[in-house]
Structure 1
Amino acid sequence: MNERLPEAALETIQMVGFSSLFTLFLGLPLGLLLHVSSPTGLRPSFLVHRALGLVVNVGRSLPFLILLIAVIPFTRFVVGTNIGPEAAIVPLTLGAAPFFARLVENAAREVDPDTVEAAVVMGASRMQVVTKVLVPEALPSIISGFTTTIVTIVSYSAMAGSVGGGGLGYLAVSYGYNRFQTDVMVVTVIVLVAFVQIIQLTGDFAARRLDHR
């Protein structure tokens, strides 16, 4: 068995972990702003909603491999290189954040309008409605969406690794495919499946615990 497997697994965890964190920081406010600026939101704005929607739709429509190549200059500017796990975090975040933002928007849309209206009638500001009503009520769905997003990032990370991003994707291509080491390929797939299962089970558990409906 290839001795690089533990190192590759750690690189994948690094890529997925940091990309998920940055995706949360970017996608959550973006998704909430999409909902708030929608025609039925707290502060409807046609221009803001259309502009943000366009950004999100463009980000979601680009195949990840094309995005990975297209943002190479930006990646090099941010981290100083376009290869390795650190470089892969940039396109992973840019690819996942719009996807997560749309899931957040859908989760916020599912919140009972009467609950939001009651908070507004009681004198809550827009920010208070968002932070104390909208987000808590939508949290189970947001967590489910974030879980789905992390699973997507895992698959993206394998693709990024196959073109120089490191991690399990690089190991599978460089050793499992190019050097015909079938055992490396099989173990790599098993490890990736295990990652996805752990992420999904953890996310499902957290969503159930927070769902009081």
Structure 2
Amino acid sequence: MSGKPVPGRAGDRGQDSDAELDLDLRHRTWSTSDWKDHGAVLRRILPQLATALVSGHVQPLFGMREVGYSFSRGLWQQWPTHQSAAVWEFLHAWWAHTLSQPAPVVPVHEVLALCTEASATLGPWLHTWEALDHRVADQHLAAAAARWEYDLLGDRLPWDSMDDAEARCAELASWLARHAPARLRGQDVPEELLHRIRLTGLNGPARWEDPHRPDCRY
């Protein structure tokens, strides 16, 4: 997936395409939004960026969704087939690995936001999660649900999305309400959380008039 460096920009110090970038330069490279050819820049750093992501050495200011934005700006799904397939393989492998780790270096909810923004789709990542029928994946589901429920009950996606935030919020809420309760009843989760998850699948009066509706302002 490596490509030639893009000349004529600050920070391009004449490195060949295999030269290792330091953390600061790598961050400035993927996070800059005004490259003339962002795809070429992303290909240049992607092997190093992928390694840094998996090892937890990438720490964006506002969350891993920012890295997903960078992938999206690079239009990687329009790259030659073997290159775009390699990106898909990396994202899917990292996501599945994260779900299988009791204490992943990057939290599950952060990796999901990155993968969703990078690919402009939420469904495949939720399908992978749903297919992993083991306790660790369920523990991550409980933690994510506890983190998401306030936003979802306010009809907000739990991260800032580049587009389709409303549709993704509805998709995530529906999936959580449909899929999570059966798996979480075997976990040590508060009954209150299970009610809030159920409520994310309801709309209008059915949600707001429910006796278990949280007494919160959204």
Q: Structure with the greater relative contact order (CA < 8 A, sep ≥ 6): 1 or 2?
A: 1
Q: Do the two structures share a fold, i.e. TM-score over 0.5? A: no
- TM-score, normalised with respect to structure 1: 0.29
Whichever structure has more helix as a proportion of its residues is 1
- So what's the TM-score if we normalise by structure 2? 0.29
